[in-house]
Chains A and B, each alone.
Chain A
């Protein structure tokens, strides 16, 4: 597959967007220069992804929340008994809700699946926004970005299926290998040490699974950046991964790790603010959504990094080929 002409220039050190004024078409998307692809320049796209996640989560959670409201809305303290230490009301509700759980699950499962697939569109939109600008070097308009995101959706879907298959295989293989390792060494090492060794073996497979995930992300950025098909995108991603495996894994890893920090902070704050009235509840809701938003921003930052890496790798590869 040959690359579109625009992509040849995409790896240039200056923005393609720096064009003459008469060529400026605000609906046209042009590729940004490598160093210009930054998540922080596309806050609206980050907010859109967060909004999608919030909407999807609210849709999934709504029936369960309605059920609780139907039961505990009649309590003068509302749902406060569910959070009392000891968990009596919560345990009782869990017992009562057993017949309802099947209905809630039947609602949530397909929503989850459909939401995951449809979630590829805002994700693609985010990548499109990071990778492109208008000729006037402004953020790409949403309509044009959405159209571009829609055009790569089939490729994203194919990549998602392939990635899920590979990652699933790796996890199953990891579990089998860990189990075999633990079983084979129990007699010589003792049960706990053997199981710890099994965990180490599983961790290796977990790392491989994470690597497959990183490859998946980089392939998606390649598909957007170079408007290439699935196989070409995977090949470009593989090249990028091969050229800077440790740097790429580190870039993904530190963002994934740091993404846990706001969750921990929110959990600590939640313990402090719990049961302190409506203001505290709103404050907690705001904090929680800031956590989600921060994690989306970290993901956007990672995708921007992936864009830069795959763009750079492609440029270097082409230079050598030329």
Chain B
């Protein structure tokens, strides 16, 4: 049964309903509360799609030569035209050719920062030997391999191949392509390759691009900052490796045998859009069941502690994400911790298979293995199940998943969700916010991966800015509404390839148009905000001084009679294009405080004060709700007449630590 697309579900009618509902919730957004959001069938799992529409399915067989580092493959791709237009060409992604030579888009693009910055010490490529189009009856076959156009004029990149078809494929029609190819793996770089006998095999077969409903192919070369986009289908893959090697792969193993010194395993999984695998003769294995899912950890010898930490993280996050974003639908999850010499293979996600990373000696106070594990598992949703276009809208997978990661880590580990060092607890979300503020003015968050000008900017904006904005929404509007909005988006978008409008529409439904507008400004318009306590004044109330004409006489009052009270004001300004409701706290000399709520609209607010005690200082956003506040050191100011706060604790610690360092290094 064909499942409805997201656009069929939401837009345009759905969007109108969302905006209408949002008008109702507008007042709530002005004064955020929780628990009043309108309900939707997608707030729970019941209406969530059970299966994807199978569009591109593969039956493949792969044979690994671990000495030559090659994979010989053959098999069949069955593909259906789900668009409303006839198709006269197909596009194949041959992404191993990114490592074929330095003329590839991947290697020639001038980019600093991020992963994959090195050069392969051994090249990698894929050669398509045969690509035979046959009708489903199998009666005839035409080899299209000679017609494959690997590159474009003036562009020698060979990762995005065009294949003209001898005839049009009508909407709804299914074709089958028999493929034979040889892949040469590169030295491990950007997720795939080998290091010694370790092999991680990703982007290894000719993979058809996704055809959008309007008949436009979403095809693109392999950019260094870009990830992937594909249609769902069933992958039935038989892997053939030396007997001494252990295999980890997408999907459950349904057959296994040893034949003539070779280990042969068959893995089959429905409702996925990619397949990756690993083979190594040194893998250590731990198998556990979490939340009904068989979890297999593969790790190098000596990494047992890391494996345990990763398993502990999964024990928390798998049920948590089930509840937040809908039940994980697959029977298996494979977690691959590559050796440190193959770190480029780590920190990546594929359907039902994730890779983690880090050295075996990582200190327990720094939650690296946990963070990576939670992040990569989050991609089972924000990439795997939701399957957005990672090339065009990387913030929808990496960004939302960064929020999911820090939210889960905070729920699990509290304030020290990234590290606990020297008596300080650092939160994952806080670090995301601090890093993201560095690059907020540089580029838009919501833009294609290929448009980013640096790896650092890509990381700071796509990963951290998206997450920090969402965390600010959560802190300002409340955990429950934001969880409901993101959960609704995730359930509704499961198997549906949603786009940014779907995310914004869901937030408009749940949190109201102002919140959705804030998201739009933050993601699409380089939105930023900086709240500032610009001035604080306080003085004793006394009778007016000056020259007065009273009873026909002119009288000069030089000193007013004190009234025993104080008055003053605090001027708070908002810089930037984003606005959030914030509290302003007035701190009095007698130690008491008063809070005033500002809706955050307008450029400034002057908060008047009258009372028995002098006004000492003012603090805007005293509870640190606006994580993306560009600068926190101007969130407070003391009245000119007010007493100053003490920083003795910092001074004492700095002196003590310096003494310890001196004792350690002084001769």
Contacts and interface: CB of A to CB of B under 8 A. Distances in A.
A65 B666 contact: no
Given A53-B663, A78-B644, A93-B633, 18 more contacts: A61-B658, A65-B655, A68-B650, A71-B633, A72-B633, A73-B647, A76-B587, A79-B646, A85-B416, A86-B415, A88-B624, A88-B632, A115-B666, A116-B667, A195-B340, A291-B656, A292-B659, A292-B660
Contacts of A61: 651, 654-655, 657-658
A85 B656 contact: no
A223 to B, nearest CB: 14
B565 interface: no
A87 B424 contact: yes
A72 B638 CA distance: 10
Contacts of A96: 631, 633
A193 B633 contact: no
B648 interface: yes
A122 to B, nearest CB: 10
A68 B645 CA distance: 11
Nearest to B587: A76
Interface of B: 196, 282, 300-303, 339-341, 359-361, 414-416, 423-427, 429-431, 433-434, 437-438, 587, 616-617, 619, 624, 627, 631-633, 636-638, 642, 644-652, 654-660, 662-663, 665-667
Contacts of A289: 656
Nearest to B416: A85
Nearest to A167: B667
A41 B365 CA distance: 42
B631 A73 contact: no
Given A95-B437, A96-B631, A192-B302, A82 B650 contact: yes
A285 interface: yes
19 contacts: A54-B655, A60-B658, A68-B647, A69-B650, A69-B651, A73-B638, A75-B617, A75-B638, A77-B645, A78-B646, A82-B650, A84-B624, A85-B415, A86-B426, A88-B427, A95-B434, A120-B667, A263-B660, A292-B660
B638 A74 contact: yes
Interface stretch (A147-155, A183-191, A201-209, A311-319): A183-191
A190 B658 CA distance: 40
A58 B655 contact: yes
Name which of B303, B426, B438, B663 has the most chain A CB atoms within 10 A of its CB: B663
Contacts of A308: none
Contacts of B631: 92, 96
A267 B624 CA distance: 27
B415 A79 contact: no
A71 B635 CA distance: 11
Name which of A79, A87, A163, A295 has the most chain B CB atoms within 10 A of its CB: A87
A258 B646 CA distance: 34
Contacts of B301: 190-193
Nearest to A117: B667
Contacts of B339: 191
A82 B426 CA distance: 11
Contact of A274 (B423, B624, B657, B662): B423
Q: How large is the interface on A (under 10, 10 to 19, 20 to 34, 35 or more residues)?
A: 35 or more
A273 to B, nearest CB: 10
Contacts of B660: 263, 292
A75 B282 contact: no
Given A75-B645, A116-B667, A88 B627 contact: yes
A136 interface: no
A89 B303 CA distance: 35
Contacts of A74: 617, 636-638, 644-645
A73 B644 contact: yes
A73 B650 CA distance: 11
A195 B360 CA distance: 9
Interface in A31-46: none
Contacts of B425: 85-87
A72 B647 contact: yes
B341 A76 contact: no
Contact of A92 (B361, B587, B633, B657): B633
A160 interface: yes
Main secondary structure of the interface of B (DSSP, over half): mixed
B302 A91 contact: no
B496 to A, nearest CB: 35
Contacts of B340: 191, 195
A281 interface: yes
Nearest to B437: A95
B360 A65 contact: no
A93 B437 CA distance: 12
A253 interface: no
Nearest to A268: B423
Contacts of A92: 434, 437, 631-633
A65 B423 contact: no
Contacts of A190: 282, 300-302
A267 B660 CA distance: 12
Name which of B340, B650, B654 has the most chain A CB atoms within 10 A of its CB: B650
Contact of B302 (A73, A112, A119, A193): A193
Nearest to A98: B438
A284 B416 CA distance: 23
A292 B663 CA distance: 8
A270 B300 contact: no
A263 B423 CA distance: 13
Given A187-B196, A190-B300, A86 B427 contact: yes
A51 to B, nearest CB: 11
A75 B427 contact: no
B658 A88 contact: no
Contacts of B633: 71-72, 92-93, 96
Contacts of B426: 86-87, 91
A288 interface: yes
Interface string A46-72: 000000011011101100110011011
Contacts of A292: 656, 659-660, 663
Contacts of B433: 88, 91
A288 B637 CA distance: 32
A225 B308 CA distance: 56
Nearest to A292: B659
Given A57-B658, A87-B427, A88-B427, A69 B667 contact: no
A288 B302 contact: no
Given A65-B651, A65-B654, A94 B434 contact: yes
Given A76-B645, A79-B645, A192-B303, A281 B414 contact: no
Interface in A179-233: 186-187, 190-193, 195-196, 216
A90 B651 CA distance: 14
Given A71-B633, A91-B430, A91-B431, A53 B649 contact: no
B659 A54 contact: yes
Contacts of A171: none
B440 to A, nearest CB: 12
B480 to A, nearest CB: 21
Name which of B301, B627, B667 has the most chain A CB atoms within 10 A of its CB: B667
B644 A270 contact: no
B29 to A, nearest CB: 24
A184 to B, nearest CB: 13
B419 to A, nearest CB: 9
A57 B661 CA distance: 9
Contacts of A88: 427, 430, 433-434, 624, 627, 632
Nearest to B431: A91
Contacts of A160: 667
B638 A76 contact: yes
A292 to B, nearest CB: 5
A191 B663 contact: no
A271 interface: yes
